[in-house]
Every structure is written in C-alpha cells, then in structure tokens.
Amino acid sequence: MKQGKFLHLLTMTALLAVGTLLFSACSNDDDVPEVITEDANFALSLAYQGTDGNFTYYTVLFEDVMSGSLSAVGQGIDHLGYYTYNKIDDRIYATGGFELTDIIALEKNTAGELVETGGNSSFGNSLQDIVETEDGMLVAIEMASSSDVITLHRIDAETITTESTVNTAVSEITDLSGAAYSGMVQSGDFLFVSYYISDPATYATAHTDLAQVAVFSYPDLQFVKIIEDDRTGPVGGFGTKSGLIKDESGNVYALSHSNPANGFSQFTKDPAILRINSGDSEFDNNYIFDFNTVTDSLTTAHLVYLGNDKVFVEMNSADRREQSAWADGPLKPAVLDLSEKTINYISGVPEHSGLGRKLAATSLYDGQHIYLVVPEDVNSYVYQIDPVNYTATKGAEVQANFTAGFFKF
C-alpha cells in the first residue's frame, strides 16, 4: 500500500533490530514502571515495529528532551495501527489508520499522568484529518481516492461527540476519479479542503496543471464551489496533510509542489504558494510565492505556520527532476517569510529523510523553539531549532523506529 512506500525509509536493518527489541520490552508494562513527574510536559508518540511487521505507537511523557535517550520501554499509552496525532489546546487527538475509525484523546490529569479518553465515536472509514475551528469545535474528514463520497463531521471538542455529519459526492468536486485529500482549514464562513487527483489503482498523477481547493460553508459543511488557479499545480501531496495553512488574520495559504518524492508521477507547473485572503473564497490574483525565485528549483511538501508570516518548512534539497519517487527527502529545515517571500536555512541540522507525515504533528513549536526528531544513519536525535537566528542544538537520542508526534502540555 502507499504508506509502505514511505515506511521503507524506516526499515533499515539496525532500526528494525532496535524497534523489535523495544516493542518486546514495551509489551510487558511490568518490566519497567512508568515514572511521571509534574514537570514531564513533553510528549512524544513513538513508533515501534513488531516481529509481525505491524507498528505500535506509544505516547510517552518526558521532562527533558535535550539530553540522554528517549524511549517507550515500560511506559506510555499504546495504539496499534497507523495513527495520526494532532494536539489541539490541552489534548492530543489520535485518529486511526488502517481499519481503525475512532478518535482517541490523550490529556494530562491532575496527577500529571497521561490518560486516554474518547474512543466512543466511530466513523464509517478512517479519518484523514481533524482540525480545530474558530468556534472551538473540531472538523474531521473522511476522504479517500478510492471513495465516491467525502464526509465531513463537526465534533464537540470536549465530549468528542459528533454534532453533525454531511456527505458530499466526489462528483460535485471533480468528474475525474481519484480525488485525494491533502489539507483542510476553516476560516470565517468557509471550510477549505485541498486535494489532488491520484489514480486509486496506480497512484499516478496525470492531472498537474491546476491548483484546486473545494470550498464548503461553515458551520453547515455544505459544498459551495471549487476554486482553481493555473499559475501552479495541485495543492499538497500524499500523507503530509499540509496543503493548506492559516495565519492569525484568517488568510489561507495553499502550497503546491508536485514532488515525485511526495506522491507525484509528474510535474508540469512551477512550485508555489498561493493565498486566499481572509473573508474571501477565491485565490488572490495579486499574490504568489514562486519557489524558483528563492530556491533555485527546490521546493517543500512540509510546512507549519509559526506566526507573523513566518513558516517552518522542510525543504527537499533535490531538484524535482532528481528526486526519488516516494522518498520524502533529502530534507533540510528552513524558515519562509510569506510576506517578504524569502527563505533562511537552519544551520546545524544534517540533511535527512522525512516520514511522509504531517510536520505539524511530528515537530513542536513552543513559541520560542522548534523541536524536530532527525534520523541520522541508524539513530535519531532531537534538534532544538531557533527560528530567529536560524541555528540548531542537538539533543536527546530517540530510540524508536520513528516519531509520529511531538507535543508539549
């Protein structure tokens, strides 16, 4: 399956040996007691591959992520499957992959322990994503390239119960088969969903001449229209879920890259970022951030909004003509300025492979520093990044096959 193409990056012999050992240790929670202190405010969701080839995720609290080693041996809350994690306010929401169709919330109790709630709302299919809305609710989406229906759910964030559900036929969105989800944000009266066309059998992307975003009303979740822009190609790509981001003013930015390393079999337009101004439901014809003007034909599939027009990205340091299919790399962190249309690379972080996952979940921005787990040969390490001075400090070793989430309470 597609996600296996990304996971092959994680199955080097040494990593598998570490993962299998730790998975076995984690299976017996009596081996090492869990030690929680009130100062353990960092949380990492660590993935380990078992002898059967399946991954189990353990979400664990840590007091310090800049020294020693981090592992889930004997501790943490486990989830079997291919989970996606999103931290919204004081909760981490885990949405299931494979055949799991629920939402599970993780939070710290008054004793400082990580506890699990939710799991009572089950959906027809695995949720592709979940986002916070401006009125404090959640919106979740079921959308797969093999499905002929897009389902949106408006969910009470506190009780994790579904308030409303709306189905929209894919035929309303496109007359092509294979509409694949790539990003979602809510701004004002609208919910924006980005997508690209991916053949559900071969994953080929034969349609790369347009940026397209579906517009829904909010809070009604009714389909309104499709907006298009031929200045660049499709918005987003496989797995990264970062096709759309929103700034503090409600402006929505759409990322187009058409990277072979992130699920595209071809590219026909230059990579760029477009904008939908706050309150509008059309692309701004006067705004385009053309990557070729600042990167010499390089691009990114990963971005996280930091604030004040600054965006943390993982740039693919290979030209699209030289990228390996589904490789999600090689990557180099940087900070973009959406207003000035500039890029500054972070020094001190080695070039590395990515995970083909949502950067907003696998990195942490605490308002001062960005924390990112970087694989280096066999081992992975935490890097603390200063997004103002564009420098990085190497931290703790992470003993896991990969990191599925990085959060702070």
pLDDT of res. 118: 77
- SS3 call for 46: strand
DSSP 231: T
pLDDT in tens, 118-159: 766 789 888 999 999 999 999 999 998 899 999 999 999 999
Pairwise CA distance, residues 198 & 83, whole Å:
22
pLDDT of res. 286: 98
Ranges assigned E (strand) in 28-160 = 42-49, 55-62, 69-70, 77-80, 84-88, 91-95, 102-108, 114-122, 129-132, 138-142, 149-156
**Residue 273 — φ and ψ, nearest 5°?**
-115, 130
Q: Is the Cβ–Cβ distance between 30 and 1 less than 8 Å?
A: no
Q: Is the Cβ–Cβ distance between 380 and 374 less than 8 Å?
A: yes
- Please give the structure tokens belonging to residue 161: 């119960």
Q: Across the 409 residues of the chain, what is the mean pLDDT of every consecutive 10-residue run?
A: 44 40 44 56 95 92 98 88 89 81 91 85 88 97 93 95 96 96 98 97 97 98 98 97 98 98 98 98 98 91 98 97 97 98 98 95 97 94 98 98 96
pLDDT of res. 38: 66
pLDDT of res. 343: 97
C-alpha distances out from residue 76 to 6, 33, 55, 399, Å: 25, 10, 15, 14
pLDDT of res. 208: 98
What one-character-per-residue DSSP string does 254-313 give?
A: EEE---GGGT-S---S--EEEEE-TT--S--TT--EETHHHHSS-EEEEEEEEETTEEEE
3-state helix, strand, coil in the chain (%, to 5): 10, 45, 45
pLDDT of res. 97: 65
- Please give the structure tokens belonging to residue 114: 């990580």
Sign of the torsion angle spanned by Cα atoms 288, 289, 293, 297: negative
Pairwise CA distance, residues 206 & 210, whole Å:
11
Residue 206 region by backbone torsions, left for phi larger than 0, else alpha for psi between -120 and 50, else beta: alpha
